[in-house]
Amino acid sequence: MADRNDVLGAAQRVLNADPGASMTVVAEAAGVSRATLNRHFDSRETLLVELGTRSLDQWAQRLDAVDVEAVAASGDAARIRAALEDLVLGYVDDSDAFGFALTDHVILANAALEERTQALADREAVLFAAAQASGVLRADLPLRWFGHAIYGLLVAAREAVRIGDVARRDAGHLVLSSLLAGVVPS
Amino acid sequence: MADRNDVLGAAQRVLNADPGASMTVVAEAAGVSRATLNRHFDSRETLLVELGTRSLDQWAQRLDAVDVEAVAASGDAARIRAALEDLVLGYVDDSDAFGFALTDHVILANAALEERTQALADREAVLFAAAQASGVLRADLPLRWFGHAIYGLLVAAREAVRIGDVARRDAGHLVLSSLLAGVVPS
């Protein structure tokens, strides 16, 4: 019997490939009946919100893994730069699994997820502020822009891989290099 | 009486604010009955595809306006750089009006729109290739990445403006400056 986690994993894969997939298609992919799917998730929105929650859990884990508050507090440019690179490369890896959640409008419109997104963006902003203070990031750009720019390049990389313009193994480098150095020769 | 164009304009505004808005909400915003809305657009998908078509029309007009093929053929670095900047700033302006279409999955999954998107990306790629050849864009990045990076930063700017992190008047500069120079001090 497929348990709740198996169903969620299958739903994530289906929705990544086709973000508009119906509950019927999700049930088929998970190898369960519509009745079983409905027992686990009473609506498509419930399922999407749970997948959004998982993607935010993963974001939180990435911030924990680089010890973002401690690195920011250190003021050490080399540590801050390394943490920033680790985070971005980690996000690119995650966007392969959670990609549809980046732009799904049900997930983006959910108030609880929006609040948690803001709290995670606040944690990240502490690192960006330390990066600006230590010369790792440009001081002339608004603090709140950095997180958005990273997000946008994740959406870009996911789409580029999806339609076959970029190899999955190149995505991390392309995002990081474009973000840090821009697309014009230095 | 609201004509088809009025209804389309109202639908675009509503969907920009709430990409999940139902046909009932769209009809209310356009000041027409559901019956009238259905007479113009037989389904939500028909309406979305028409809005996607309009956003691609606008993209084509931007490419025409900078005379993209002639500029690319000139091989003149200054002209290529100026056309690139004009295009990006124009796209940022357009993304304010067409923003939801950037990530709407019904629009992205439509085969006819996908084919036309590819044709427009091909036109743009001619400019990017000329920009790489003339030293305006980095030669070490894959040609097909530039369009995606621009797209991602448009999504980023739209989201940053939407949630109030970035002023609308700053969006063009932020996208262009981050794209060209990156977020690290040079």
In a domain, B186, yes or no: no
B155 in the same domain as B133: yes
A74 in the same domain as A109: yes
B94 in the same domain as B2: no
CA–CA separation, B8 and A136 (whole Å) = 46
CB contact under 8 A, A185 and B157: no
Query: Hey, how many other C-beta atoms are within 10 angstroms of the C-beta on B133?
Result: 14
Q: How many domains does chain B have?
A: 2
Residue B17 confidence (pLDDT):
87
The residues, any chain, with a CB within 8 Å of residue A76's CB and separated by 6 or more, are A134
Residue A157 confidence (pLDDT):
96
A1 near A13, Cβ under 8 Å? no
B86 in the same domain as B19: no
Residue A186 confidence (pLDDT):
86
Name the band, by pLDDT with cuts 50, 70 and 90, for residue B49: very high
A2 near A32, Cβ under 8 Å? yes
Over the stretch B3-47, which tens digit does the pLDDT of each residue have? 888 999 999 999 998 888 999 999 999 999 999 999 999 999 999
CA–CA separation, B156 and B85 (whole Å) = 18
B37 phi and psi, to 5 degrees? Answer: -60, -45
Residue B35 confidence (pLDDT):
94
**Residue (of B106, B101, B104) closest to B45 by Cα position:** B106
Q: Which residues in A lie closer than 8 A to residue B151 (C-beta atoms)?
A: 155-156, 159
Residue A59 is part of which domain span? 44-181
Residue B186 confidence (pLDDT):
86
Token pair 């305006």: residue: B136
Q: Which residues in A lie closer than 8 A to residue B184 (C-beta atoms)?
A: 136-138, 180-181
A120 in the same domain as A36: no
The gap from C-alpha A51 to its chain's centroid, in whole angstroms, comes to 11
Residue B1 confidence (pLDDT):
58
Q: Token pair of B23, please?
A: 């046909």
Residue A2 confidence (pLDDT):
67
CA–CA separation, A35 and A12 (whole Å) = 19
A170 in the same domain as A142: yes
Count how many Cα atoms sit within 13 Å of the Cα of residue A1 in the half-sphere of its side chain. 5
B31 in the same domain as B91: no
Please name the residue of chain A whose CA is at the shortest distance from the CA of residue B107: A20
N residues, chain B: 186
Long-range contacts: B61-70, Cβ < 8 Å, 24+? B62/B87, B62/B90, B62/B91, B62/B94, B63/B87, B63/B120, B63/B123, B63/B124, B65/B90, B68/B123, B68/B124, B68/B126, B68/B127, B69/B123, B69/B126
**Residue (of A102, A99, A69, A98) closest to A83 by Cα position:** A69
In a domain, A167, yes or no: yes
B179 near A182, Cβ under 8 Å? yes
Identify residues of A whose CB sits under 8 angstroms from chain B CBs.
Answer: 18-20, 100, 103-106, 109, 135-139, 141-142, 144-146, 148-149, 151-157, 159-160, 165-166, 170, 174, 177-186
Over the stretch B92-149, which tens digit does the pLDDT of each residue have? 999 988 888 999 988 988 999 999 999 999 999 999 999 999 999 999 999 999 999 9
Secondary structure class of B20 (helix, strand, coil): coil
Q: Which amino acid is at B12?
A: Q
CA–CA separation, A153 and A139 (whole Å) = 20
Residue B2 confidence (pLDDT):
67
**Residue (of A151, A135, A131) closest to A143 by Cα position:** A131
Q: Which residues in B lie closer than 8 A to residue A52 (C-beta atoms)?
A: none
CA–CA separation, B122 and A55 (whole Å) = 33
Residue B46 confidence (pLDDT):
95
Token pair 């859990």: residue: A57
The residues, any chain, with a CB within 8 Å of residue B124's CB and separated by 6 or more, are B63, B68, B87, B146, B147
Q: Which residues in A lie closer than 8 A to residue B180 (C-beta atoms)?
A: 182-184
- In the 8-state DSSP scheme, what is residue B93? H
> Angle of helix A77-103 relative to helix A111-133, nearest 10 degrees?
160
Q: Token pair of A141, please?
A: 């750009």
A66 in the same domain as A150: yes
N residues, chain A: 186
CATH number at residue B120: 1.10.357.10
A101 in the same domain as A17: no
CATH number at residue A6: 1.10.10
For residue A19, give how far its alpha carbon lies from the nearest alpha carbon of chain B (Å).
Answer: 6
A167 in the same domain as A85: yes
A108 near B103, Cβ under 8 Å? no
In a domain, B141, yes or no: yes
Low-confidence ranges of chain A (pLDDT < 70): 1-2
DSSP string across A63-75: HHHTTHHHHHHHT
